[in-house]
Amino acid sequence: MTDQPARPPQPPAGGTASPAAFSRRLLLVHAHPDDESINNGVTMAKYAAEGALVTLVTCTLGEEGEVIPPELAALAPDRDDALGPYRARELATAMAALGVTDHRFLGGPGRYRDSGMMGAPQNDRPDAFWQAPLDEAAGALVAVIREVRPQVLVTYDPNGGYGHPDHIQAHRVAMRGAELAGQPDFRPELGRPHAIAKIYWNCNPRSVVEEGFARLRAAGHSFPGVATVDDVPGVVPDSEVTASLTAEPAQAAAKAAAMRAHYTQIAVDGPFFALSNDLGQPLFGTEHYRLVHGAPGAAEGVREDDLFAGIGDMAGMEESARNEEAAE
Ligand SMILES: CC(=O)N[C@H]1[C@@H](O[C@@H]2[C@H](O)[C@H](O)[C@@H](O)[C@H](O)[C@H]2O)O[C@H](CO)[C@@H](O)[C@@H]1O
Ligand SMILES: [Zn+2]
């Protein structure tokens, strides 16, 4: 984008500059602290370094997670139930590693609680994200969308990647929020309507996942076991991938550092990692997407290498909208 500032707008101490100061604005909606780094660490680091506004909305604090380090076992939900605030701090550290300054919890920290894995009794807690009325939760996201006014939204596929209730609900809330944010008659007190130009779902091309496991099996690693292709979220035929972003060395390092920051959830060993199930899996330096809304910015059959591709002509419209806003 030729109108990128020479230096990205610098946020005021302890905060983020106004969204209007950024010509490119990316919004990501995730279920738990750690999902953003696992799925989009390279993407977030790339756009933050390029001066775009990267806004992360995390829907829960991850209160029902397992705890890897034995010395932190007391944080667990069936012990001190103190994992949520701890993971919020892990997330802040991960965001610093990625250079992201705008991260929020949907409805405020603790508004929606981690629902546990599908079928767990925690699914039925009244404060579980899985129980949240869709338009209530989507309304909280509309407030963010109308404030930030992103051109690009990233979230999960309808299965949440792997069927976790919070991931499925995060998908639903993200898609419903994008729909409602553009409707003038939906809660006008939340701000001017905003239509998001492009929406992507996270995915992993099967050939890349299979190659990653071949690397893992061939390499030495420290994990007690190895996951399978089916354990990786969002595996799709290669042909369904419409965008791929490959890390520069700095972004690969930032992603690994961000994943390490989620110390209670992730163990990183070079180009591999494991969750609390101790099953090694590849740490991907290229992140892949399916465009599900908006015009592709590359020719038919050619993968985009930039999620903002094709939005260039939107910049002028956004600029005039900002000028109008400033004149009001
Ligand atoms: C990556 C992700 O979405 N993690 C979730 C998930 O955690 C998994 C869960 O504890 C499972 O029982 C383990 O075998 C697996 O290793 C974990 O990754 O679900 C948690 C509870 O909802 C959630 O807090 C965590 O972020
Ligand atoms: Zn998750």
Amino acid 275 reads L
Residue 316 has pLDDT above 60, yes or no: no
Helix (H), strand (E), coil (C) string for 157-205:
CCCCCCCCHHHHHHHHHHHHHHHHHCCCCCCHHHCCCCCCCEEEEEEEE
ipTM: 0.99
What pLDDT sits at residue 220? Answer: 81
Ligand nearest to the CA of 169: 2
pLDDT at 17: 83
Q: Please state whether the predicted TM-score (pTM) of the whole model is above 0.90.
A: yes
CA of 166 to the centre of ligand 2 (A): 7
Residue range 170-192, pLDDT digits in tens: 999 999 999 999 999 999 999 99
List the domain boundaries for the chain. 19-204+234-264+285-306
Measured in Å, residue 113 CA sits from the centre of ligand 2 at: 12
* Dist. CA 68–CA 222, nearest whole Å: 14
Task: Provide the strand spans (E) within 78-172.
Answer: 102-105, 152-155
Return the DSSP state at 286.
Answer: E
Q: Among 30, 60, 90, 117, which is best to mutate for testing ligand 1, by the most ligand atoms less than 8 A from CB? A: 117
The residues, ordered by sequence, that sit 6+ positions from 70 with a Cβ below 8 Å of its Cβ are none
Average pLDDT, the chain: 93
Atom 18 in ligand 1: which residue has the minimum CA distance?
A: 275
Place of tokens 């279920």: 31
Ligand 1, pocket residues at CB < 6 Å: 32, 34-35, 62, 64-66, 114, 116-117, 164, 265, 275-277
pLDDT in tens, 91-140: 999 999 999 999 999 999 999 999 999 999 999 999 999 999 999 999 99
> Which pLDDT tens digit goes with each residue over 254-265?
999 999 999 999
Residue 325: band (very low, low, confident or very high) from pLDDT cuts 50, 70, 90: low
Q: What is the pLDDT of residues 149-175, one digit of tens each?
A: 999 999 999 999 999 999 999 999 999
pLDDT of amino acid 16: 78
Q: In what order do the strands lie in the sheet with 279-282?
A: 225-226, 279-282, 272-274, 267-269
Give the number of the ligand closest to the Cα of residue 277: 1
Q: Which of the four pLDDT bands, split at 50, 70 and 90, describes residue 221? A: confident
Give the closest residue (by CA) to ligand 1 atom 22. Answer: 116
Instruction: Write out pLDDT tens, residues 7-49.
Output: 444 443 456 789 989 999 999 999 999 999 999 999 999 999 9
- Rounded CA-CA distance 183/180 in Å is 5
d(CA 123, CA 189): 32
115-to-47, 75, 126, 128, 167 alpha-carbon distances in Å: 31, 17, 10, 5, 10
Per-residue pLDDT at 9:
44
Fold assignment, 19-204+234-264+285-306: Rossmann fold (3.40.50)
Give percent of the chain above pLDDT 70.
91
Of the candidates 24, 107, 37, 78, the one whose C-alpha atom is nearest the C-alpha of residue 308 is 24
**What are φ and ψ of residue 316, in 5° steps?**
-60, -40
Q: 312 C-alpha to center of ligand 1: Å?
A: 38
Task: Using the atom order of ligand 1, give the atom closest to the CA of residue 66.
Answer: 10
Instruction: Output DSSP code: residue 273.
Output: E
Taking every pair of Cα atoms in the chain, the longest distance, rounded to a whole number of angstroms, is 62
Spatial distance between the Cα atoms of 280 and 228, rounded to a whole number of angstroms: 9
